[in-house]
Amino acid sequence: MRDIAEFAQAPWNSARIDGIEATETVPTMLAAEEQALYAWLTGHWMRDLGEVVELGSFVGGSTARLAAGLVAAGRTAHLHAYDRFGCSEGLKETMLYPAGIAPFEGTDILPLAHALLAPWRDQVTLHPGRIEKQSWDGGPIELLVMDASKKIPLMDRMAATFFPSLIPGRSLVIQQDYLHWRTPWIAVQMEAMADWFTPVAFVPNDTVVFLNTRPVDSAALLAGQVAEMTPAARLETLRRARRRGRALGYGHRLAQSIKAMKANPDCEAAFRMRAPG
């Protein structure tokens, strides 16, 4: 079985995933190394001990990379991708049209996501709608990919819905925006749950990967409810996360998140965060 110690060599950068070329037509916000990580985790690291859940799929770019790994490895695990599948005109202009998507009317990108993900349709289910309205009764989750923590209440809700289905000692949580200054609360939550999660990899630009180490029970969820924490407690927890992150080489990146949280102490939504001076 592949060991976490292997992560130090970043094996995803040199691994071969058969059929990965087919993902190149699916636009994604992920950086190149993050794309490689996603495909490697499903293609090489997973053991079919549970499902793959992805929160924040956009038009399916990350979904395609995850699915390509599943298919290349012949896995039985299924990929469940959640998103509201809506897109603004601005995002169409910056993300979709430059990537070769033909211009279209309206905000609904669910049909587009279905079309782009057609090569992997047997192994992927899309769950459209607000994630905070969703539930999970699909059994153990071996890989949980989080890229929708744009608001504190939503992040807390996702933790409550999905974390209890993680497999202790095995499941990984991919925190896509962990190091982004606009979402400093992700690092607060994972640090507040340090008795249940330990960081195992840092992948530029903004991703930190966590191993789930203990069953996530009500005590764990209570500890990780960032909405219940005071601004001072959030800041102190973020400072602890920075200290912990030094071992994996990303601690310094949290300096900007700390500045951002100081400049926006009560802010709970990424789009309202003002850049720190």
Ligand X SMILES: C[S@@+](CC[C@H](N)C(=O)[O-])C[C@H]1O[C@@H](n2cnc3c(N)ncnc32)[C@H](O)[C@@H]1O
Pairing state of beta strands 207-212 and 172-175? antiparallel
Asked if 183 touches ligand X (CB under 6 A), the answer is no
> Sign of the C-alpha dihedral, residues 81, 86, 90, 93?
positive
Minimum CB–partner distance for residue 163 and ligand X (Å)? 17
Quickly count: other Cβ atoms within 10 Å of residue 118's Cβ: 11
DSSP string, 122-148: GGEEEEES-GGG----S--EEEEEE--
Considering the complex, state which of residue 28 and residue 123 has its C-beta at the smaller distance from ligand X: 28
Return the structure tokens found at 184.
């400093």
Quickly count: other Cβ atoms within 10 Å of residue 44's Cβ: 17
Minimum CB–partner distance for residue 271 and ligand X (Å)? 10
> Sign of the C-alpha dihedral, residues 84, 87, 88, 94?
positive
- The interface region with ligand X, picked from 25-33, 42-50, 119-127, 192-200 by CB under 6 A, is 25-33
Cα distances from 240 to residues 35, 62, 190, 219, in angstroms, run 29, 30, 11, 20
Site for ligand X in 68-87 (CB under 6 A): 83-84, 86
Minimum CB–partner distance for residue 149 and ligand X (Å)? 8
d(CA 109, CA 87): 6
- The interface region with ligand X, picked from 100-108, 127-135, 159-167, 240-248 by CB under 6 A, is 127-135
Minimum CB–partner distance for residue 139 and ligand X (Å)? 22
Considering the complex, state which of residue 146 and residue 201 has its C-beta at the smaller distance from ligand X: 146
Of 134, 100, 114, the closest CA to residue 60 belongs to 114
Minimum CB–partner distance for residue 240 and ligand X (Å)? 26
The tokens 């008795």 sit on which residue? Answer: 195
Quickly count: other Cβ atoms within 10 Å of residue 46's Cβ: 23
Total of residues contacting ligand X (CB under 6 A): 18
Asked if 62 touches ligand X (CB under 6 A), the answer is yes
Asked if 29 touches ligand X (CB under 6 A), the answer is yes
The pattern of x and - marking residues 84 through 123 that bind ligand X according to CB under 6 A reads x-x-------------------------------------
Asked if 42 touches ligand X (CB under 6 A), the answer is no
With contact defined as beta carbons under 8 Å apart, do 82 and 131 qualify? yes
Asked if 56 touches ligand X (CB under 6 A), the answer is yes
Minimum CB–partner distance for residue 62 and ligand X (Å)? 3
Site for ligand X in 241-260 (CB under 6 A): none
With contact defined as beta carbons under 8 Å apart, do 240 and 195 qualify? no
Considering the complex, state which of residue 111 and residue 169 has its C-beta at the smaller distance from ligand X: 111
Site for ligand X in 141-160 (CB under 6 A): 147-148, 150, 154
Asked if 61 touches ligand X (CB under 6 A), the answer is yes
- Residues in contact with ligand X by the rule CB under 6 A: 28-30, 56-58, 61-62, 83-84, 86, 130-132, 147-148, 150, 154
